[in-house]
A and B are shown apart, each in its own frame.
Chain A
Amino acid sequence: MAFTTQDNQLSAGEQLSVEDAELLLEWLLKHPRGRIDLSACDHVHAASLQVLMAARPKIAAWPESQPLADWLTATLTEEASNHGKNNSRC
């Protein structure tokens, strides 16, 4: 497993791999208010990314790796605002 869990927090390892997607999803289902620490992470597999996008957990820490942080902040924070924008657009 590429992540460790403690109480209500999941800390990702270096990678969130394709196998982790299922586990991540399970954990998120059990911990609907769980927080995710991505600081050590430098790549998220698209399947895990999907889970994060669908679940929208609270992110305790963004990745230290800047390119990934850019992507994730853009995706996991912006989509919500995008929804708002879409509605208001003419």
Chain B
Amino acid sequence: MNPLLDQFQSEGRELLEGISEKLLHLERAPDDPGVMDELFRFVHTLKGNSGLFELPQMTRVLHAGEDLLDAVRDGKQPFSAALADQLLEAMDFVAAMFDEIGDGDSASLPDPGWQAEPATQLAAALRAHLQSTPPAGRPDSAGPDAPAAAGQDAPIPETLPDQSTLAALPEVARMALYRRILVGASCHVLVYEPEAESFFKGEDPFFQISQLPEPLWRRISAREPWPALAELDAYHCVLRFELVLESSADELAEHFRYVPEQVRILAIQPEQLPLPQGRLDDGPMTANFIRAALTQVDARQTDALQRAARALLELSAPDLCIASGLRWLLLVLELEPDNRERLRDLLGAIEHHCLGTPVHDARLAPSAARTAAGPETIASLPPEWRHSLEQALAAQRQILALEERPDWFQGRLRAVAASLNGLCRALGAESALEALAQATAQAEAQADSAPLRDWLTHHDFALPTIDSPPELPAESPAGSAADAAAPSVRQPAAPVPATGATPSDEPVRFGRRAEDQAGTPRTLKVDQVKIDRLMGLVGEMVVAKNALPYLAGRAEEHYRVRELSREIKTQYSVINRIAEEMQDAMMQVRLLPVSFIFQRFPRLVRDIAHKLGKEVELVMQGESTEADKNIIEALAEPMIHILRNSLDHGLELPEEREAAGKPRGGKLEISAQPLSDRVLITIRDDGRGIDAEAIRRKAYEKGLIDEATAERLNEQEALNLIFAPGLSTAAKISDLSGRGVGMDVVRSAILRVKGSIDLRSQVGKGTELRLSLPLSMAVTNVMIIESARQRFGVPMEAVAETVRVARRDIHLIKHRQTTVLRGRVIPLLELNSLLGLDVPPVANEDDALAVLIARIEQDELGIIVDDCRETVDIILKPLEGFLGTLPGYAGTALLGDGSVLLVLNPTELL
């Protein structure tokens, strides 16, 4: 898998968790601005990351969410539970998308059109919150259809091709469009990109398009270059339809209502239309004209400007860029002579498009950027910056001090002006730009660098003097500096060769913030496969070290070297200690806190409770309790089932609770605690409890138990019937919804990880479920037994006790051997016959048989073996391949002497 995508996935999921946690927090404390900011940041980051990949639907939803949160953050929109619901749903969608990516083969991303419909709806729903209270003064609400269009297609501004589409329109068409829009017509750009498989779905995009009213402009193009005709796939749709229509966005959206994700409908704003196009022209006339025109716009000398523009237009070839710009200028002057902002923008566009070198006039700067920054921005500059600025300024001084006047003198002046302009902006000293522009104009007019030099000398850049390096000696107009100066003019920050010791020798770090370096991460993210492999190796190490005692034994008995035997034993104890520590450390690595699954419960409980109209208080304890990752993961599913059952069937509706004399809100407690080598998880609710009688009746009706059993079962045993497979859906005492998952599924999931489950319930008081799970499954403790001269292992969880039973104490009841142990009748089975070995069990000298009392679920059973031996820790390897289908075996393990131990699975054996 693509590592970048991998990282995106793991980070994305973390962000999602963060987002839902913050949302829930905000629901309790909606006025916490810190949390709000963090939430916004999470969504923003996630959206940004998603943009790296071809995931348009995810980006679309997140973008809508981000906009909504931005409005909330700015106080334009109150935070509400409905809003949180919507956002949570959007995050669920994103999570589903992550699942889809994870399921896909290697680096295959879901099809860009995947889930487009729900994404569109989600985005629209999110934006619907925004529209309910339109923020004041949003610039894009120009046409009556603009908000509708925004809601319809949730535009993602970065990817909109509107500029390129509009730029493709012939100038005449755009001018006509401009006139129409100014008189109030609603015009839209429609971009329709039918999906590649659309022909197979019986769609005819062209027919769809030709049903539209006559467009003002149209273009059909291919999304990818046409292949050679012989390789063309006629049924792989690559068409893109672009149209400009005079219809409302609603009409267009209605027309394409079945393929909303394939069309983009964009309201055309008048300011998008004036775009000068044509052959480039770098004449000085253009620059001069723009400068003069700006002055005239400011002075409202419309007539003069019109005359000047006409004159220049007559002089310019019609296909020049400037001619196109002038035609636009005249049109704007004719239609909106008082719209100075528009005129200024247009002049800026002409400058941008028609001139190779920008003029950089302060008046062309966007009005918003013209606010002067306070001195604190300068003071807060890092020292490296100050130093670089000093160097850049010195370079400009050097250039201005040059005596010679080459042909490119004007260009040199402009370059210096541009550099200084950039410096001023970087320093936030926008107020100085005006003076700089004047000085530049003066200098150009006089063809002398003096005005700029003066400005540079007199302008106070407010640089602190403490850090500034010694004045550069190249201040004098020496020819030696000339060669260095010329190439560096374009980059203000280009380092001038350092003279002597500069105060800061450390490398200059531009744009890097302090926190980028704040310590390397303390945690590692490692693929689980690697950990599993390491664990396997540790396991083998443990087994290998077990060979040493055997070796010691052989040294002593076989080779009769006692000394060596002792030394091997000493070495063994060292290796043993290290191996055990290794094993322990390995377990630690695999340990996860239960919070890993607990953290999703608040959300789950909240959602279900909302849906059921119940009031529930969730209390969680011991979230930091740890257990092996496999155990924790196996726990998630059954826990969710249990919680769902509690909420659905256990806890009552508020009214019912009040009637029963309980507080309206139910209480759901989840706690986890370590208990020697196990983890105990308790889920307790104070709901209506389970009626054992009802269960007993149901089980009897279902035929799960006969009448006698039904009579005999005590209350607890009747309750346990809830785990019986056949009772899964029928045992819903209240049957609120008939939903809910069978408790047998829960129990088998817990049993699979060698855990146990215990249910207690009192009618009217509540229900309590206790799950007991092993801390780790990596090492299995088995008892070695011997039978028919072979050794077998039996997992210790299954072993209740081992006893010797005298042959005379074995009785036959209905042809089955039984014995009485401490007043209980225990059925006996011979292991040899279970395994199909035709050998009678071997008794000891007192004629007593070794019996292993196995605990299988709730019952006890005696298994007759030849002998019971020691218990060992082993790494259990499941049987694989052809052997994997053999029932009765849990797996195999290597013993210290190199022999293979077959481990039995008593449950399957019977």
Contacts and interface: CB of A to CB of B under 8 A. Distances in A.
Interface of A: 18, 21-22, 24-25, 28-29, 43-51, 53-55, 67-68, 70-71, 74-75, 78-79, 82, 85-86, 88-90
11 contacts: A21-B235, A24-B234, A46-B194, A47-B237, A50-B237, A53-B239, A54-B227, A54-B232, A71-B206, A71-B210, A90-B280
B134 to A, nearest CB: 37
A51 B234 contact: yes
A50 B167 CA distance: 24
Interface string B216-233: 001111100011011010
B146 interface: no
B206 A45 contact: yes
Interface residues of B, number: 33
Contacts of A89: 167, 277
A79 B221 contact: yes
Nearest to B202: A18
Interface string B167-200: 1100000000000000000000000001000110
A55 B234 CA distance: 11
A50 B206 CA distance: 10
A90 B235 contact: no
B226 A53 contact: yes
A47 B235 contact: yes
Closest 3 CB pairs of A and B: A46-B206, A21-B234, A54-B226
B239 to A, nearest CB: 6
A73 to B, nearest CB: 11
Given A43-B207, A44-B206, A89-B277, A49 B229 contact: no
Contacts of A45: 204, 206-207
B454 to A, nearest CB: 36
B63 interface: no
Contacts of A55: 229, 232
B229 A28 contact: yes
Contacts of B232: 25, 50-51, 54-55
B394 interface: no
B360 interface: no
Contact of A82 (B168, B204, B206, B207): B168
B593 interface: no
A49 B206 contact: yes
Contacts of B226: 53-54
B814 to A, nearest CB: 77
A22 B234 contact: yes
Interface string B387-406: 00000000000000000000
A42 B808 CA distance: 103
Interface string B677-697: 000000000000000000000
A20 B167 CA distance: 35
Given A25-B232, A90-B353, 11 more contacts: A22-B235, A43-B206, A44-B206, A46-B206, A49-B239, A54-B222, A54-B229, A67-B210, A74-B220, A82-B168, A90-B321
B238 interface: yes
Q: Is the contact region of chain B dominated by helix, strand, or loop, or is it mixed?
A: mixed
Contacts of A67: 210, 214
A50 B219 contact: no
A47 B218 contact: no
Given A21-B235, A82-B168, A47 B210 contact: no
Given A28-B229, A89-B277, A50 B238 contact: yes
B587 interface: no
A82 B227 CA distance: 19
B277 A18 contact: no
Contacts of A78: 219
Contacts of A43: 206-207, 210
* Centre residue among A50, A68, A86 by max chain B CB count within 10 A: A50
A70 B167 CA distance: 21
Which residue, A28, A49, A82, A89, has most C-beta atoms of chain B within 10 A?
A89
Interface in B310-330: 321
A65 to B, nearest CB: 10
Interface in B804-852: none
Nearest to B167: A89
Contacts of B207: 43, 45-46
Contact of A18 (B204, B219, B227, B239): B204
Contacts of A48: 234
B278 interface: yes
A3 B210 CA distance: 21
A21 B235 CA distance: 8
B205 interface: yes
A88 B206 CA distance: 29
A44 B218 CA distance: 16
Contacts of A70: 214
A53 B220 contact: yes
B129 interface: no
B570 to A, nearest CB: 83
Contacts of B234: 21-22, 24-25, 47-48, 50-51
Interface centre among A24, A25, A51, A86, by most chain B C-beta atoms within 10 angstroms, is A25
Contact of A46 (B168, B205, B227): B205
Contacts of B204: 18, 45-46
Interface string B253-297: 000000000000000000000000111100000000000000000
Contacts of A46: 194, 198-199, 204-207, 237, 239
Interface string B126-170: 000000000000000000000000000000000000000001100
Nearest to A24: B234
A12 to B, nearest CB: 14
A88 B324 CA distance: 14
Contacts of B230: 29
Contacts of A74: 218-220
B893 interface: no
Contacts of A49: 206, 220, 239
A47 B280 CA distance: 39
B279 to A, nearest CB: 7
A88 B279 contact: yes
A43 B206 CA distance: 9
A41 to B, nearest CB: 12
Interface in B50-72: none
Contact of B229 (A18, A29, A44, A90): A29
Contacts of B353: 90
B794 interface: no
Given A47-B237, A49-B220, A90-B354, A25 B167 contact: no
A74 B243 CA distance: 12
